[in-house]
Amino acid sequence: MSIRPLIGAHVSTAGGLYRAIGNGELIGAETIQIFGSSPQQWLTRMPSPADIADFKKHLAASRIQAVYLHASYLVNLASPVKLNWDKSVKSLIEHLKIAELIGADGLIFHVGSKGESDREDAIKRVTEGMRLVLKDASGKAKLVLENSAGGGNKIGNIPEDIGEILQALDSPRAAVCLDTAHAFEAGQIEAYTPLLVKKFFDHWDKHIGLKNIVALHANDSMTKFDSHHDRHENIGKGFIGLDGFKALAKEQRIAHAAWLLEVPGLAGLGPDKANVEILKSCFE
């Protein structure tokens, strides 16, 4: 018998962290992703004890079974600029502490951009940064590397980069989030056909170990294969298409991961019930 993964989406915390639970339930989410603090800022607002208690209370009473935080967009552990790297480490420590406080499963962040620097050095900086973050923010919550679309000197677009980092860290708390749009835009998979899906995951398995994929960002792509342009589209409306998601749904090696939508939504207000239902229907 085939297993269906938890399906959910990135949802808003406007008005309080606990609001994310209701927002997720409204669209039929079984798992959610949220920003623990503002994603456009270096400054982290830590939740109060009341914020934490409210969140946990609502979560326990809900059908939501996995929660992931997404880090600030400013974070770049691959940065050759020491000040940015320092700020990135500090921000990730604070956000991972929030994840731990509210009982979330992990914190997802973008591997980063190396600028004009050497790839090997950039990978060393990411590894060292993650090591510090994991040491400072102790607990169970995982620190999760997300693959990139590859534009703008970004690293983490290929499984070799992520695999090297995981290997060097050798930590049970280091994990991977695979974004379906980024993989397509990065030129990693030309079409999500059953054959290419199998090949793609065979390849990624070799480098990162598919068991390390704890989350999957289920996004269609507004831009073409190998475009290196990161633009998400509603499920079935982009270049991946509904058949692509149906092929992904059959890949049991990623059924243990939490599938999270980060799509614009039909009304442009973010992931909605329609997209959640379309994704669920791919498993029927």
Binding site for Zn ion (CB under 5 A): 179, 217, 262
User: How many Cα atoms are found within 13 Å in the side-chain-facing hemisphere of 147?
Assistant: 34
Q: Residue 56 or residue 237: which is nearer to Zn ion going by CB?
A: 237
Q: How far is the CB of 259 from Zn ion (least distance, A)?
A: 12
Residue 186 · residue 228 · CB < 8 Å: yes
Spatial separation of the C-alpha atoms in residues 230 and 110, rounded to whole Å: 12
One-letter amino acid at 92 equals L
Q: How far is the CB of 9 from Zn ion (least distance, A)?
A: 11
Q: Strand ranges (DSSP E) for the chain?
A: 7-10, 31-35, 66-70, 106-110, 142-146, 174-179, 213-218, 220-221, 232-233, 258-261
Q: Residue 137 or residue 218: which is nearer to Zn ion going by CB?
A: 218
Q: Residue 51 or residue 179: which is nearer to Zn ion going by CB?
A: 179
Q: 178 has which bridge partners?
A: 216
Residues constituting the chain? 284
Q: How far is the CB of 91 from Zn ion (least distance, A)?
A: 18
Q: Residue 164 or residue 179: which is nearer to Zn ion going by CB?
A: 179
Supply the angle between the helices 119-136 and 82-102 in degrees, to the nearest 10: 40
Q: How far is the CB of 233 from Zn ion (least distance, A)?
A: 13
Q: How far is the CB of 146 from Zn ion (least distance, A)?
A: 6
Using DSSP, state whether 266 is helix, strand or coil: coil
Q: How far is the CB of 126 from Zn ion (least distance, A)?
A: 17
Q: Residue 114 or residue 217: which is nearer to Zn ion going by CB?
A: 217
Q: Residue 226 or residue 262: which is nearer to Zn ion going by CB?
A: 262
Q: How far is the CB of 262 from Zn ion (least distance, A)?
A: 5
The DSSP string of 191-248 is: ---HHHHHHHHHHHHHHH-GGGEEEEEE-EESS-TT-----EE-TTSSSSHHHHHHHH
Q: Residue 68 or residue 85: which is nearer to Zn ion going by CB?
A: 68
Give residue number: closest CB to Zn ion.
217
